[in-house]
Amino acid sequence: MTLTDKIINLIEQAKSGVARVANSAMICTNYLIGKLIVEEYQQGETRAEYGTNLLQNVSAELTQKLGKGYSVQNLERMRNFFLIYSKSSNELRNCEVFQKSSNSLRIFGDEDIKLLPVSWSHYLFLMQIDNEQERQFYEIESFQNNWKLEELKRQYNSGLYERLALSKDKDEVWRLAREGQMVENPKDLLKEPLVLEFLGLDEQSSYSETTLETEIINKIEKFMLELGKGFFFGGRQVRFSFDEEHYFVDFVFYNRLLQCFVLIDLKIGKLTHQDLGQMQMYVNYYDRFVKNELENPTIGIILCKNKNESLVEITLPEDKNQIFAAKYSTVLPQKAELKALLENSKK
């Protein structure tokens, strides 16, 4: 690296640090502005009329003295920001993610209020989520994965919280809200369906496995975001040979959190027991000839349009923790339907 490159790198780091500090200051300031507005709202007997006049007057004065950014709508957003987060459950937010001083923002004068340093635009979107557990889940995931606002919206619209929660009991759902998605065992990688709407393949159109594979490669970054945390791409159509026969794995990934290879095969037709057996052979090969002693057993995932749960159950071992079949969708699921499924499953 040249001296010029080193100087540029130093300046970019400084700019990034200034941006983070500025964002944190904005979040805290907006919260405190919201608090002041709420306190003023309590004055007088006719609160609604008083409140409307208050925001209009304050907005006009702030705009005159400070410029844009202080419309009645923006002041109302700050008020809602305070109302929502000042009432957040201490039990929910009293977890490791918020306890780390470098991660959370402490609001001056409100020691019990902890916020994560995501952008104001993120919080404006998060405030639209009524369910506090779901809202905190997306706040944590946005922070930990450094999601841009566009990715936050996509993950929310794809029902990530519901898709993860559907396979968990009540305690695990509570943990989702406190810690976000934790990857501690192979099953933690799975969400169903895997949503691939970013590929641009119509649900009703006819396409081949090769087309699906090619589109995934063209959008590999988004595909890895949908897969989840800790993935590194190892290759497409990775060949290995055994007894003079050549075999090809559609996708090879490595997950650093689980410290293991993750093999993925794509199926657009009906899932068969032969597909599951083939994946078992792939996994066995990687376990015996590719992984080292320090790495954990290989995971195999077959992504399919449809699957017969009974077939999967009877074909795979009872303690299945290496081979999985998961459905995928090329369109966004109906979030209302996912919510209904989640509510019914927890009754």
pLDDT tens, residue by residue, 123-157: 999 999 999 999 999 999 999 999 999 999 999 99
State which amino acid sits at residue 1.
M
Angle between helices 220-227 and 209-218 (to 10 degrees): 90
Count CB atoms within 10 A of the CB of residue 344: 8
Question: Would you say residue 50 has pLDDT above 80?
Answer: no
- What share of the chain in percent tops pLDDT 70? 90
Question: Would you say residue 46 has pLDDT above 50?
Answer: no
pTM for the model stands at: 0.84
Question: Would you say residue 103 has pLDDT above 70?
Answer: no
Q: What pLDDT does 191 receive?
A: 86
- Domain architecture of the chain: domains with CATH: 1-87 (no CATH), 89-184+333-347 (no CATH), 197-329 (3.40.1350.10)
Instruction: Give residue for tokens 């009645």.
Output: 72
Helix H or strand E encompassing 341? helix 335-345
Count CB atoms within 10 A of the CB of residue 195: 22
Q: Are 257 and 229 in contact (CB under 8 A)?
A: yes
Q: How confident is the model at residue 44 (pLDDT cuts 50, 70, 90)?
A: very low
Rounded to an integer, the average pLDDT of 197-219 is: 88
Q: Which structure tokens are listed for 75? A: 């002041």
Rounded to an integer, the average pLDDT of 326-331 is: 90
Count CB atoms within 10 A of the CB of residue 57: 11
Average pLDDT of the chain? 87
